[in-house]
Amino acid sequence: MLEAHNLECVRGERRLFAGLGFRLEAGELLYLQGRNGAGKTSLLRMLIGLLPPEDGEIRWQGESIKSLADEYRGNLCYLGHHNAIKEELTPLENLMAAARLAEEEISEDDALDALEQVGLAGREDLACKYLSQGQKRRVALARLVKEKRLLWVLDEPFVALDVAAVAWLAGLIGAHLQRGGLCVMTTHQPVDIPAGAVKELRLS
């Protein structure tokens, strides 16, 4: 489904990696590893099409993601270092707005349910700026609960989460893979994801 061929990444004057390639099928998890600054975030940004690679190509179902454009992005769900939530809005509003902007209507009940699952029950109506670091991250993660898109790209999703939340999220990713989804992920924490096929890719 998702293939990368001969990717090269240059930031500033530094060549982070070159000749990188992989192939990911339905139900597989690609686990990116590497020390700080190895280029994991850069690679993820290439995969979602925001950073044009210096060289090489990325294909989705055989076609270059550059030519697929919108069509590819319709299959994509990205979670970055930043939470992409508005501090002034409440978790509920954030979730609804994010869905609407991604052109996916969800009902308020669904949203409330998602928030409850991420452990924010009782804080649905508190502006996000009052939430703790981990609670903010949970708001961002709530998007994943109802997410049906095929390809999830997650950049250190476990950061700031407490132990219970880490386990919950691992389960969520596992379920996504079981449904035949794909996932590309980085994390520095050792996490156990209940998934069949885990591919590892180490940048160095």
Ligand X SMILES: Nc1ncnc2c1ncn2[C@@H]1O[C@H](COP(=O)(O)OP(=O)(O)OP(=O)(O)O)[C@@H](O)[C@H]1O
Q: Say whether residue 126 binds ligand X (CB under 6 A).
A: yes
The binder of a copy of itself chosen from 15, 23, 66, 81 (CB under 8 A): 81
The 70-109 contact track toward other proteins, x by CB under 8 A, reads xx-xx-x-x-xxxxxxxxxx---x---xx-xxxx------
Q: Say whether residue 88 binds ligand X (CB under 6 A).
A: no
Q: Say whether residue 33 binds Mg ion (CB under 5 A).
A: no
Report yes or no: 196 and 27 within 8 Å, Cβ to Cβ: yes
Buried b (16+ CB within 10 A) or exposed e, 4-24: bbebebeeeeeebbeebebeb
The binder of ligand X chosen from 71, 88, 130, 196 (CB under 6 A): 130
Q: Say whether residue 67 binds ligand X (CB under 6 A).
A: no
**Residue 27 binds which entry of ligand X, a copy of itself, Mg ion, none, with Cβ cut-offs from 5 to 8 Å by kind?**
none
132 vs 151: CA distance, rounded Å: 29
**Residue 117 binds which entry of a copy of itself, other proteins, ligand X, none, with Cβ cut-offs from 5 to 8 Å by kind?**
none
Q: Say whether residue 16 binds ligand X (CB under 6 A).
A: yes
Binding site for a copy of itself (CB under 8 A): 11-12, 34-41, 81, 119, 123, 126, 130-135, 137-138, 156, 159-166, 188-189
